[in-house]
Amino acid sequence: MNGTWQEPIDPMRLAFDIDGVVADTMAVFVQLARERYGLSQLSKDDLRCYELHHCLDMDREVLNDLICLTLDDEHTLQVPAMEGAPQVLTRLAEQGPLRFVTARIWPESITQWLHLTLHQVPAHRIQVIATGAPEAKRQVLNDLGIRFFLEDRLETCRHLVRGGIQPFLFDQPWNRSSDVEEFPRIVSWDQFGEWVFQGNGGE
Ligand SMILES: [Mg+2]
């Protein structure tokens, strides 16, 4: 798959995963691992698989503690945005509501984070659905009439494409494992902005 996308991307039929796509959630995981457990050598590039116990040589209790801390309300609000995401999303919000579908169980803290991060977007233009499970995203997206979805988990992309949804894989260290590119890869929000705004009121 090369670095271009030809088909127009209708913003009204577009939705987004949050963690690992809009929110640089694992930056907080790495920070906590360094601060709380002295794992000073750990970097995001070490997170080479989605199921972290498969790729990190880390005590299971420590790993579970770090994941819980990363996703708790306090640390959710400290997550940095992925570079360029607020700019592209703020511009997209001028055309319609922004739809976010997350596998988190509770939507409250990450919704609050979105409101803070996208502070120029009116709150009523931000819709968040927490499915509690990645496999539940497909039905939710189809019910919303979504055709395009930005996602960082490879397995979820495979599940979505079987349901007629076109995934865009947001590049992260944990989704670079396959030799063959199955999905269009988004390496930056700037790149995605070019794809979505071409022929859509963009430059
Ligand atoms: Mg994600």
One DSSP character per residue, 83-150 reads TTHHHHHHHHTTTS-EEEEE--S--HHHHHHHHHHTTTS-GGGEEEEE-SSGGGHHHHHHHTT--EEE
Answer yes or no: do 98 and 19 share one domain. Answer: yes
Q: What is the C-alpha to C-alpha distance for residues 178 and 75, in angstroms, rounded to an integer?
A: 31
Residue 1 lies in a domain: no
**pLDDT tens digits along 118-160:** 999 999 999 999 999 999 999 999 999 999 999 999 999 999 9
Question: How far does the centroid of ligand 1 lie from the alpha carbon of residue 45, in Å?
Answer: 16
At residue 199, the pLDDT reads 62
Between the alpha carbon of residue 26 and those of residues 23, 53, 62, 180, the distances in Å are 9, 14, 15, 25
Question: How far does the centroid of ligand 1 lie from the alpha carbon of residue 127, in Å?
Answer: 16
pLDDT at 114 over 80: yes
Q: What is the C-alpha to C-alpha distance for residues 66 and 122, in angstroms, rounded to an integer?
A: 33
Question: How far does the centroid of ligand 1 lie from the alpha carbon of residue 122, in Å?
Answer: 24
Q: What's the angle, vertex CA 164, arms to CA 15 and CA 152, rounded to 5? A: 45
Question: How far does the centroid of ligand 1 lie from the alpha carbon of residue 5, in Å?
Answer: 22
Domain that holds residue 139: 11-24+80-197
Answer yes or no: do 68 and 105 share one domain. Answer: no
| Residues 102-115, mean pLDDT to the nearest whole number | 97
Q: How many domains does the chain have?
A: 2
Angle between helices 85-92 and 189-197 (to 10 degrees): 20
Q: What amino acid is encoded at 166 in this protein?
A: Q
Answer yes or no: do 102 and 181 share one domain. Answer: yes
Question: How far does the centroid of ligand 1 lie from the alpha carbon of residue 54, in Å?
Answer: 18
At residue 151, the pLDDT reads 98
Question: What is the CATH number for 113?
Answer: 3.40.50.1000
At residue 4, the pLDDT reads 77
**pLDDT tens digits along 153-187:** 999 999 999 999 999 999 999 999 877 899 999 99
Residue 132 lies in a domain: yes
At residue 109, the pLDDT reads 97
Residue 15 lies in a domain: yes
Answer yes or no: do 111 and 20 share one domain. Answer: yes
Answer yes or no: do 119 and 184 share one domain. Answer: yes
Question: How far does the centroid of ligand 1 lie from the alpha carbon of residue 145, in Å?
Answer: 20
Residue 3 lies in a domain: no
